[in-house]
Amino acid sequence: MAPLPLLLQQSWQELQRVLFNIPLLLFLFLSLYLFKRIIRSKPNLPPSPPKLPIIGNLHQLGTLPHRSLQALSKKYGPVMFVYFGHAPTLVVSSADMAKEMVKTHDIVFSDRPKITAAKILLYGCRDIGFSPYGEYWRQVRKIIVLELLSLKRVQSFQYVREDEVAALVNKIRDSCLKKASVNLSELLIATSNNIVSRCIFGQKFEEEDGKNKFGQLSRRVMLIFTAFCLGDFFPSLGWVDVLTGVIPNMKALFKELDAFFDQVVEEHKTMKSEDGQANRRDFVGILLKLQKDGMLDFELTQDDLKAILLDMFVGGSDTTSTALEWAMAELIKNPYIMKRAQEEVRGAVGNKSKIDVNDIDRMDYLKCVINETLRLHPPLPLLLPRETSASVRFGGYNIPAKTRVYINAWAIQRDPAVWEKPEEFLPERFKDNPVDFRGQHYELFPFGGGRRGCPGITFGVASVEYVIANLLCWFDWGMPSAGVQGQDLDMSEVNGLSVPKKIPLHLIPTLHAS
C-alpha cells in the first residue's frame, strides 16, 4: 500500500494532466463544431465549370450558346450552375430535370428576369412572355388562351393562311416559268409575316418591294434582343450600355414600334363596319372590344395592349418561318424523305386544285416530318430564361432565389440517352409514337411547358403544316448547284432569339406534273 503523500502526489499529477488537456479538448471540440457549421452553411450547388474573376463563365458561351452549354453539360452534368457576370444561372439539359422543374416546382421556376431589352421594348415587361409571374400575367394569359389563340379562333383564320399561301404558290410558279431559283428563306419569312400581320392587325403593311414593313421591324427586335447588354450581367455598369449605343438603339427601335402601334390602334378605334360595331376579327379589334365592353377583370392600358401585340407578332412570325426553313432544308438533304412526304401529300389532295384542312389531317408522315424538324431544330434552342422566385431543392441541389434558369431544349432533344441516332433526320421515329411537342413529353420540348409554356403552339403549327403541304404538293425541288441532291447544303446556324439558317435557302422549283 502506497504512502499517503505518494498517492496525493500521483493524484496531483493526474489532475495537472487533465487540466493541461482541457484547453486542447476545448479547441478540438470548437474546431469540430465550426467545421460542421461551415459544411452545413456551404451552399449545395450543382456542378460548375471553373470561372474567371469578374466575368465568371461568360467567356464559355461562344457564338452559339446552345451548343456551348451542351458541350459543358456533357462534362458537368444535366444540372449545371454557371455565373454570367454577377448573374447566377442554372442550365438544365435533360428531359428528367425539365420534367422535375415543370411538374414539381413549376411555380418557383415561373418568374422571368427583367432583362434590358424586354424592359425597353416591351413597355416595362407588360407582355405575356416577359411579365413577372403574378396576377397581371395570369389575367393576360387567360385572355390570350381563351380569346386570341383558342382552337376555334385559330381555325377562323384559315382563310388568311389560304390567301397568303396562294400568293406564295403563285410567286413560285412564276419562277418555275422563268426556270429561276428562288430565295425560299425570304419567301417563307414574308409569308409568315403576312399571315401573322393580318391575324393581329387586319392588314399586311406591304411596301413597294413586297416586303412586310412590320416584319422588318420584328426581325430587328429578334436581333436586338440578343445584343450584349453589360447591365444584364453587371448591374452597376448599366451606364456603359448607353455609351456603347446599345440602349440608344433599343430606344430608337422602340420609338418606331410605338408609333406604328399607336397608328394601328387608332385606325381600329375609328374604323367601323357596316353595322356600326367595332370593326374586325383581328387581334387588335378583339382586344379593343373586350376593353370597351368591360369584359376584362383588370385594366388593360394601351401600353399593355401594345406590349401583348408585339409579343405575339414576334413570337408568331419568326419562329414559324424558322421552322419552315429548317424543314425544307432537311427535306432537300434527304431526298428519299422528301419523296415519301410528297407522295403522301399528293395522295391526300388527289385531283383537287386546293388543299383544305381535312387533307392535312390525313398527312400522318408530314406531321412526323414536322415533329422531327422541331426536335433537331427547335426555333428557340434556349427557351426564354426563367428566374427562381424563392430558394428551392432541385435535382438534389439547393438553388438560390433570383437564379436565372435556361432550359436547353436543343441539348435535350439531341440526347443520345433518349433518342436513337439523335443527330440524324429520321421522321419515322415518330410513327405510332405518342411523343409530341405540346409540352407533355419532356424529351421533345421546343415550346416549353407548364405555366410558362408557349400559348401559341396551335396557331404556329397550323401555318407550318399548311405551308409545307403546299410546297410539297405543287412543286418538285432541287439545288441550284450540280451534284447530289442536298449534299453541299450548308446547315450552319446564326444566333438570335430564334436560330435560323446562316445561309438562306436558295432552291430551284419545278411545277409538278400531275
Please write the tens of the pLDDT for every residue from 416-426: 999 999 999 99
Q: How confident is the model over 30-48, as pLDDT tens digits?
A: 555 444 444 445 689 999 9
Q: Are 87 and 232 in contact (CB under 8 A)?
A: yes
Question: In degrees to the nearest 10, what's the CA dihedral of 225, 226, 227, 230?
Answer: 100
Q: Which of 87-96, 250-259, 276-285, 455-464 has the lowest average pLDDT?
A: 276-285
Q: How confident is the model over 212-234, as pLDDT tens digits?
A: 566 677 778 877 888 889 999 99
pTM score, two decimals?
A: 0.88
Q: Where are the domains of the chain?
A: 58-511
Greater confidence (98 vs 211) lies with 98
pLDDT at res. 172:
96
Q: Cα separation of 66 and 409, whole Å?
A: 8
Instruction: Give every strand in the sheet of 87-92, ordered side by side.
Output: 79-84, 87-92, 404-407, 386-387
Write the single-letter amino acid at 50: P
Q: Are 376 and 493 in contact (CB under 8 A)?
A: no
Question: In degrees to the nearest 10, what's the CA dihedral of 26, 28, 29, 32?
Answer: 150
Q: How confident is the model over 240-292, as pLDDT tens digits?
A: 999 999 999 999 999 999 998 999 999 888 875 544 444 468 999 999 988 88
pLDDT at res. 308:
93
Query: Is the torsion defined by CA of 278, 281, 282, 286 positive or negative?
Result: positive
Cα–Cα distances in Å, from 453 out to 5, 80, 201, 457?
88, 22, 24, 9
Write the single-letter amino acid at 246: V
> Given the DSSP bridges, would you call strands 182-183 and 87-92 parallel, antiparallel or unpaired?
unpaired
Helix, strand, coil proportions of the chain in percent (round to 5)? 55, 10, 35
Q: Are 215 and 190 in contact (CB under 8 A)?
A: yes
Indicate the fold that domain 58-511 takes in CATH: Cytochrome p450 (1.10.630)
Check whether 59 has a pLDDT greater than 50. Answer: yes
pLDDT at res. 40:
46
pLDDT at res. 2:
47
Q: Are 306 and 356 in contact (CB under 8 A)?
A: no
Would you give the distance in Å from CA 177 to the centre of its chain?
Answer: 39
Check whether 474 has a pLDDT greater than 80. Answer: yes
Q: Cα separation of 392 and 256, whole Å?
A: 41
Give all strands (DSSP E) within 385-514, no chain letters.
Answer: 386-387, 392-394, 397-399, 404-407, 475-478, 506-511
pLDDT at res. 212:
58
pLDDT band per the 50, 70, 90 thresholds, residue 514: low
Q: How confident is the model over 475-490, as pLDDT tens digits?
A: 999 998 754 455 678 9
Check whether 12 has a pLDDT greater than 70. Answer: no
The helix or strand, by DSSP H or E, that contains position 89, with its residue range, turns out to be: strand 87-92
Q: How confident is the model over 398-411, as pLDDT tens digits?
A: 999 999 999 999 99
pLDDT at res. 19:
53
User: Across all residues in the chain, what is the average pLDDT?
Assistant: 87
CB atoms within 10 A of CB 69: 26
Q: What mean pLDDT comes out for the span 357-370? A: 95
Give all strands (DSSP E) within 377-497, no chain letters.
Answer: 386-387, 392-394, 397-399, 404-407, 475-478
Does 368 carry a binding-site annotation?
no
